[in-house]
Amino acid sequence: MYIVSPLVLSRMARRPRAEARRARREGRGIGRRGGRREWERYKMTQKLVAIGDDFYVENQAGVRVFKIDGKALRVRDTLVMDDLQSGDTYKIQEKIVRIKDTMTVRKNGRPEATIKKALITPLRDRFTISIGGDRDLTVKGNILDHEYRLMRNGERVAEVSKKWFRIRDSYGIEVSPEMDAGLVVACTVALDMMVHPTR
């Protein structure tokens, strides 16, 4: 006859719960680095605005996650982007402003972000992204060459670069897990349209 101590029984009881928590965590895509979710990367094309047809944004695994309908661009300066996982819709549209070039991003019909060209310098344009309150972002880097960061209170929350995808006319977007990835991608598209208005 074997006697199992209360301590062993307690550990055995906790094991299924721990395994269930681990399964849920893996299902949500939470990485093991410091117990935090990992940054996601998405692949964009530099020819997006010129396409005028449907375009899919893929994640780093090659899975289509966003669909951009460029056909509306032929009629007005508007792009519609659908999140294929959540079903959310983002509309990117130019606003007519006398002083500053401005574009807005609406999510499911609600205004979520306003991108403004804040300052023009001999070297590069300066942009700000107004999201609301202390969530506003600043853009630092070279937007024209797709090498820049989105900063919040001095901390990097997203980055655009060509270094992750060695494909011609493509660049990557890396997004912090605390950010709305769809909103970041939509803002990146808006910035691309603003610095390449002739596409």
- Beta-carbon neighbour count of residue 152 at 10 Å? 18
Instruction: From 173, 167, 162, 177, select the one nearest 139 (Cα to Cα).
Output: 173
Contact 54, 69 (CB under 8 A): yes
Whether residue 30 lies inside any domain: the answer is no
Per-residue confidence (pLDDT) for residue 52, from 0 to 100: 56
Both tokens assigned to 95: 């606003």
* pLDDT, tens digit (0-9, with 9 covering 90-100), for 12-21: 445 445 444 4
Average pLDDT of span 107-114: 94
- Contact yes or no for 167/42 (Cβ under 8 A): no
| Residue that wins the pLDDT comparison between 150 and 53 | 150
Contacts of 159 (CB under 8 A, 6+ apart): 148, 149, 150, 173, 174
Q: Can you tell me which residue has the tokens 């094309």?
A: 45
Domain contains 1: no
By the 10 Å C-beta count (0-12 exposed, 13-18 middle, 19+ buried), 192 is classed as: buried
- Whether residue 7 lies inside any domain: the answer is no
Residue 144 included in any domain: yes
What does the block give as tokens for 196?
């390449």
Q: Are 104 and 186 in contact (CB under 8 A)?
A: no
> So what's the pLDDT on residue 145?
86
Domain encompassing residue 123: 38-195
Residue 159 burial by Cβ neighbours in a 10 Å radius (0-12, 13-18, 19+): buried
Instruction: Give me the CATH number covering residue 181.
Output: 2.40.160.200
Q: Do the domain assignments include residue 61? A: yes
Burial of 22 (0-12, 13-18, 19+ CB in 10 A): exposed
Kindly report the pTM of this predicted structure: 0.74
3-state DSSP helix/strand/coil percent for the chain, to nearest 5?
25, 40, 35
Whether residue 16 is contained in a domain is answered as no
For residue 109, what pLDDT band results from cuts at 50, 70 and 90? very high
Task: Look up residue 90 and give its two tokens.
Answer: 């983002």
What is the arithmetic mean of pLDDT over 62-78?
75
What are the tens digits of pLDDT across the range 18-39? 444 443 333 333 333 444 578 9
- 117 assigned to some structural domain: yes
Domain count for the chain: 1
Residue of 126 and 114 predicted with greater confidence = 114
Task: Tell me if 59 is assigned to some domain.
Answer: yes
